[in-house]
Chains A and B, each alone.
Chain A
Amino acid sequence: MDYSIKIGGEAGQGIQTIGDTLAMVFSKSGYHVFTHQDYDSRIRGGHNYYQIRFSEKPVMSPRTEINILVALDMESIRQHEKELSEYGQIIYDSASLKEKHEKPYFLDVPFTALATEHGGSKIMANTVATGAVLGMLGIELEILLGIIKNTFSRKGEDVISANINSAMAGHDFAIKNCVKCNLAVTGPSKEKLLLINGTDAIALGAISAGCKFYAAYPMTPSTDILNFMATRSKEYGIVVEQAEDEIAAINMAIGASFAGTRAMTSSSGGGFALMVEGLSLAGMTETPVVIGFGQRPGPATGLPTRTEQADLQFVLYSAHGEFPRVVFAPGTPEQAFYLTNKAFDLAEKYQVPAFVIFDTYLADTAWTFKEFDSKKIVYKDYRLRGDAFKGLPEYKRHSYTDNGVSPLGVPGEARHVVVTDSDEHDEEGHIAEDAETRTKMVDKRLSKKLPLIRQDITPPLLYGSKNPDFIITGWGSTYGVMKESVDRLSGSRNIAMLHFSEIYPFPSTDKFDYLEILNNAKLTICVEINATGQFARLIRAETGYEFKNAINRFDGRPFTLEGLSGEIDALIGRL
């Protein structure tokens, strides 16, 4: 069983609530879930959808084919009717849509009438729809009713019972009337699964890394990190400040870090463009800072709510001057959790800026996982505090050391002063303009640290065949769709995926000679959601390896499983 449910409608109709609720019901039932969304940059109107895929086996990419379409507007039918699978069904409310469909795969469910009759208000129509979908699938209501009780616990018994009655009415109606439905589910896995999206996972990773200060200016798709941090600020003692602009956001984070707390900011391309001078400041002053970077299609405002992977080169080369940085691009919410933690660790260990880059697609997709293991979290305080700091006979913030890392003192904790400067500076941190100091400082800050950081970088993941003839390579959020494409094609092809999530410093081949594997393959393809093949360019610049084949998409939409595996198969077929 591998079902996809699409809920389509206008912005403001509540499709996200239906989608989130259904995803939660499936995951709490023990099914593996993958959700993704597509929406316009508007508060009301337009056409949006929310798609949920669920199965008893792990799922991690969007399908083109759907099994149930919940159409809350006519546009949903126009756009998505053609995506329906063989036994698929469209459910809609002919009274609300003011059109009646007679084709056998349409099920007319009077969402509004049932809501008014059983819930006392037409606003319960979405609850009716949610109940109806579960009815079509033959899933009992117990878990949904639990979610309803939980969600509306503050609104009182009346609201809870109205929603419960509405859910039951939709459920009963579907069971009685969906006579042509052939959508029965198979039993779920017995595992307890957690369901989480990319931005929540990044925020959770930050909190688990001891992030105490978060400053940001809202911008899609990074805003949900800000939201999550704010909702947990009391629980974890985190100061969350909405900055007046992104320039302020990164400078505040740098200030908080200088003062001795772990700090983070996030934005998207346009907002990060404003942060670039601050990034250089973090580089020069060797102040640890973590930057979440949510890519969306540019240039300029671009497609504000769609997805792209076109800012890799921007993140790698932004900011004036030369200094080390760490760049991670998690492929899944799980990787986002652990890599955000690692970004904090490396940022402080080496006193450099560290990036967690994602995109709208990863931000908005929710996946199920068995666990996020807090024992795998690294938390080590590298700062010089308290007695350790007080006991030093002398202290120089930027002292020359064998490995280039100078002790990071917390101002105010000892009689030593902590001095740093955006100008080139001497060991104490005071302005210096002489050639000798400059040479030694670049050596300390950059040349010594970079190879050390590289040793902490995990090599790319090879999935599938160990001696593949065909390799698809990618980075960041394409992990799931590439992996499932390999699964789909590996019956007939000797194929593997090579996925990079720790991008910079570019992984060496010492621990795993991925270049040998690439060189031995008959056909290698670099898969990216951008027009120019930014990662292919990076690997060529760093290793000399040149991809001869590429699959690029840059329409603002993610790859689907059918779409990507079809393109790969076609490329291999042409050999």
Chain B
Amino acid sequence: MPSLEDYKGKTPAWCPGCGNFGILKTFKDTMVELGFEPHQFAIVSGIGQAGKFPHYLKCNTFNGLHGRTLPVATGIRLANHEMPVIAVAGDGDCYGEGGNHLIHAMRRNISIKLFVHDNQIYALTKGQASPTSAEGTITKIQPSGVFSEQLNPMAMAVALDCSFAARGFAGDPEHLKTLIKAAMEHKGFSLVDILQPCVTFNKINTYEWYRQRVYHIGPEYNPEDRAEAFRKALEWGDRIPIGIIYRNNRPTLEERIPEIKDVPLVRQPFDISQIEASIREFY
């Protein structure tokens, strides 16, 4: 059985008090509890503070480009669908730069587990608005406040029939652990949007701000009712629901591709003698 010691990574370069620490610890705890060894899964990350995440534990890592976590993760997963593939991205990375990939990953329903560190601000570039910044947020770049409407990742996920959509809070690690576990165990594309206070650049959405608002979605809620899920996804403001917002059992992309039905692509042998038959077709 793996232990936390096996997951020891580099020392994080995050600001003291950053919400990412809570996510990192919870994630490691969860993987140990689920019994994963570090070499048994891969994390793909992008650029931003969240992009550094895989360096701070131990695992197969592809730290790629800003916004492009999902395409790389898709390639890995299609090449080896027996390996769990996790994507870690920030709100700017995933909802801004990589928005198109998110839409299509949800449509494909490729079994990637996407954890978005959503701090509602661009931190690495020092405090510009992100797609999830509240309308009216004043920054150096937006002195008159953000004019665009705040992106609602949960409502978008429900609208796109994303097969698993949940919201967690970095300040509630026990609850977050249940979401990470549920996402890891879900068959299909899983989005977990994690509210994550940025202690340096976001003075509005603080731990306190979130604590006053978040509440656990109760057991009476049925996340498989899509219309109900959409209503739940629209809740934001004085009360913010955390938990599994929406879930369905659509078939995954990997299941549907006949070429990898039996054996993962990476383990399929290549027989060069086959090519003769294809060459002959041109005579």
Contacts and interface: CB of A to CB of B under 8 A. Distances in A.
* A and B assemble together: yes
Interface of A: 28, 192-196, 200, 204, 207-208, 210, 212-213, 215, 232-239, 241, 243-245, 247-249, 251-261, 263, 277-278, 281, 285, 371-372, 374, 377, 379, 410-412, 414-423, 429-431
A260 B75 CA distance: 10
Interface of A is mostly: mixed
B60 A251 contact: no
8 contacts: A235-B278, A241-B74, A256-B76, A258-B72, A259-B42, A261-B79, A412-B80, A422-B63
A372 B257 CA distance: 31
A259 B72 CA distance: 10
B81 to A, nearest CB: 10
Nearest to B47: A422
Instruction: List the 3 shortest-distance A-B pairs measured between CB atoms, nearest first.
Output: A255-B75, A251-B71, A259-B79
Contact of A412 (B60, B68, B257, B268): B60
A263 B276 CA distance: 21
Interface of B is mostly: helix
A251 B283 contact: no
Contacts of B76: 255-256, 258-259, 411
Contacts of A431: 10, 52, 55, 63
A422 B64 contact: yes
A235 B72 CA distance: 25
Contact of A239 (B38, B58, B72, B259): B259
Contacts of A423: 63
In this complex, which of B52, B62, B75, B274 has the most chain A Cβ atoms within 10 angstroms of its Cβ?
B75
A281 B63 CA distance: 10
Nearest to B64: A422
Contact of A277 (B40, B52, B65, B100): B65
Given A411-B60, A411-B83, A247 B275 contact: no
A244 to B, nearest CB: 4
A234 B71 CA distance: 23
A255 B79 contact: yes
Contacts of A243: 71
A196 B42 contact: no
A372 B64 contact: no
Interface string B48-79: 00001011001111111100101111111111
A412 B39 contact: yes
B96 to A, nearest CB: 14
B103 interface: yes
Contacts of B268: 212, 237
Interface of B: 10, 37-40, 42, 44, 47, 52, 54-55, 58-65, 68, 70-80, 82-83, 100-101, 103-104, 257-260, 265-266, 268, 270, 272-276, 278-279, 282-283
B282 A419 contact: no
A204 B282 CA distance: 11
Given A210-B270, A251-B68, A252-B75, A429 B282 contact: no
Nearest to B58: A417
A430 B11 CA distance: 11
Contacts of A241: 74, 78
Contacts of B101: 244, 247-248
Given A212-B265, A213-B78, A251-B72, A207 B278 contact: yes
A374 B275 CA distance: 7
Contacts of B82: 412
Given A204-B275, A241-B74, 20 more contacts: A28-B283, A208-B272, A213-B78, A235-B274, A236-B274, A237-B265, A247-B101, A248-B74, A248-B101, A255-B62, A257-B75, A259-B75, A260-B79, A285-B62, A285-B64, A371-B279, A411-B83, A412-B42, A412-B60, A417-B58
Contacts of A420: 61-63
A258 B75 contact: yes
B173 to A, nearest CB: 25
B61 A421 contact: yes
Contact of B60 (A249, A277, A278, A418): A418
A255 B72 CA distance: 4
B171 to A, nearest CB: 27
Given A196-B282, A255-B71, A417 B39 contact: yes
Contacts of A421: 55, 61, 63
Given A213-B265, A251-B65, A255-B76, A415 B272 contact: no
Contacts of B270: 210, 212, 379
B100 A244 contact: yes
A377 B75 CA distance: 26
B65 A422 contact: yes
A243 B74 CA distance: 10
A419 B282 CA distance: 43
A377 B37 CA distance: 39
B74 to A, nearest CB: 5
Contacts of B83: 259, 411-412
A256 B278 CA distance: 24
B75 A417 contact: no
Given A204-B279, A417-B60, A247 B71 contact: yes
A239 B260 contact: yes
A278 B265 contact: no
A153 to B, nearest CB: 15
Contacts of A193: 283
A417 B61 contact: yes
B259 A245 contact: no
B256 to A, nearest CB: 11
Contacts of B70: 248
Nearest to A201: B282
Contact of A194 (B55, B75, B79, B282): B282
A215 to B, nearest CB: 7
B113 to A, nearest CB: 15
